[in-house]
Structure 1
Amino acid sequence: MSAKKVLMITGDFTEDYETMVPFQTLGAVGHDVHAVCPDKNAGDTVATSIHDFEGDQTYTEKRGHNFTLNATFSDINPADYDALVIPGGRAPEYLRLNPAVLDMVRHFFAENKPVAAICHGAQLLSAAGVLEGRTCSAYPACAPEVTMSGGKFADIDVADAVTDGNLVTAPAWPAHPAWLKQFLALLNQPAYA
């Protein structure tokens, strides 16, 4: 396995597990992950939220940790990165309004670089216009955005993930084992070496 340089685009009230687990896992296996947020610098923090599934009709939300960013958004050139990770939570809801974020997301698809998005991360993919003809999983409440942007919503178990070309997606954090396994497999493919 050759180490990859991975960009993570996140923001305030990103989902706690969907940010910290991939950040730490990818780093633990030797990849260099840079976590950024618009208008924030390396050393700044974003607030996280914890989305849990407790038998209600939708997830519950609680305040999580402070997650420290390790790179500065305004310094980022997506061409310097081999792959992209988009966590879910509330952050994608407002990040999709930022043209620079959308341009970064589009870069990874234009260059066919590996992308992993989970839960509400599909909101960024939809807003960037990169889902046409693609199969994409997401939190079920994001299904309309996937289909309205020309994608095929993968209605899979909450613990499953799906890969379509360079894109790995999953419904929510219970899918971490499947989602990260598929993303790591993609990162190790010769096409992305």
Structure 2
Amino acid sequence: MTGKKILMIVGDFGEDLEIMVPFQALQMVGHEVDAVCPDKAEGDTCKTAVHDFRGDQTYLETRGHDFTLNATFDDVDPADYDALVVPGGRAPEYLRTYDGVLEYVRHFFEAEKPVAALCHGPQILAAAGVLDGYEMTSYPAVAAECEAAGCSWVDEVTTDRNLVTGQAWPDHAEWLAAFMDLLGDEVSHREPATAD
């Protein structure tokens, strides 16, 4: 496997696990991951949020970590990257208002490069107008928004052409494995170990 160069678009109060886990896991297997945020520079931080599912009608949110950006949004060129990761949390609801974010996303779809989006991340894809004709998933509360953007929403981790989507951080193992398949990594799928 040859490591790929991956762009990750993050923002304040993005979901902690959906930023930290793919950022570190993709690096662990040899990929270079640049995490960027509009209006912030390399070395700046984004505050993350932890979303937990405790049986309520929606998730519970608590303060997460300070995630340090390792690249500057205005200095990157999406053409230099092989793939894109769009985590969820609350950040996508305002990140989708940045023209630069939408332009970056459109580049990956126009070039048919791998894109992994999770949870509320598809809000950005919907705003970029790139979901028409795709089968995908997202956090269930975002399903109507995705369908309005022209996709067919399903209730499971899904790969359709260049797009891999999952519903939230509990999907990490399956979602990341599917994304790594698209990146050309050799992924061994196996049942998780159980405690005896």
TM-score greater than 0.5 by the shorter chain: yes
SS at match of 1:146: helix
Q: Give the Cα–Cα distance (whole angstroms) in 1 for the partners of residues 146 and 153 of structure 2.
A: 6
- After the TM superposition, which residues 92-171 of structure 1 pair with which residues of structure 2 at under 5 Å, given as runs? 92-156=92-156, 161-171=157-167
- Give the structure 2 partner of residue 12 of structure 1: 12
Q: Give the Cα–Cα distance (whole angstroms) in 1 for the partners of residues 174 and 136 of structure 2.
A: 14
Within the alignment, does 1:176 sit opposite 2:172 as a pair? yes
Q: Give the Cα–Cα distance (whole angstroms) in 1 for the partners of residues 136 and 18 of structure 2.
A: 17
Q: Give the Cα–Cα distance (whole angstroms) in 1 for the partners of residues 136 and 77 of structure 2.
A: 26
1:135-165: CA deviations, max 9, x gaps?
1110000001110000111123xxxx11000
Letter of the 1:58 partner, please give it. Answer: T
Number of aligned residue pairs: give it: 185
Unaligned runs of 5+ in 1: none
- Give the structure 2 partner of residue 185 of structure 1: 181
1:32-84: CA deviations, max 9, x gaps?
00000001000000000001100001111000000000000010100000000
1:14-43: CA deviations, max 9, x gaps?
000000000000000000000000010000
Q: Give the Cα–Cα distance (whole angstroms) in 2 for the partners of residues 155 and 187 of structure 1.
A: 23
Letter of the 1:125 partner, please give it. Answer: L
Q: Write out the 4+ residue segments of structure 1 that deviate beyond 2 Å after TM superposition.
A: none
Deviation at 1:179, TM superposition (A): 0.3
TM-score of the aligned structures, taking structure 2 as reference length? 0.93
- Give the structure 1 partner of residue 191 of structure 2: none
Q: Give the Cα–Cα distance (whole angstroms) in 2 for the partners of residues 149 and 162 of structure 1.
A: 17
Letter of the 2:142 partner, please give it. Answer: C
For the aligned residues, what is the CA RMSD? 0.7
Deviation at 1:119, TM superposition (A): 0.1
Letter of the 2:87 partner, please give it. Answer: P
Q: Give the Cα–Cα distance (whole angstroms) in 2 for the partners of residues 2 and 109 of structure 1.
A: 22
Q: Which has the larger Rg?
A: 2
- Give the structure 1 partner of residue 29 of structure 2: 29
- Give the structure 1 partner of residue 77 of structure 2: 77
Q: Give the Cα–Cα distance (whole angstroms) in 1 for the partners of residues 126 and 62 of structure 2.
A: 26
Q: Give the Cα–Cα distance (whole angstroms) in 2 for the partners of residues 100 and 164 of structure 1.
A: 25
TM-score of the aligned structures, taking structure 1 as reference length? 0.95
Letter of the 2:112 partner, please give it. Answer: N
Q: Give the Cα–Cα distance (whole angstroms) in 2 for the partners of residues 59 and 154 of structure 1.
A: 20
1:98-154: CA deviations, max 9, x gaps?
001000000000000000000000100100000000011100000011100001111
Q: Give the Cα–Cα distance (whole angstroms) in 2 for the partners of residues 46 and 3 of structure 1.
A: 26
Percent of aligned pairs with the same residue? 62
Unaligned runs of 5+ in 2: 186-196
- Give the structure 2 partner of residue 62 of structure 1: 62
Per mean C-alpha deviation after superposition, the further-off stretch among 180-189 and 103-112 is 180-189
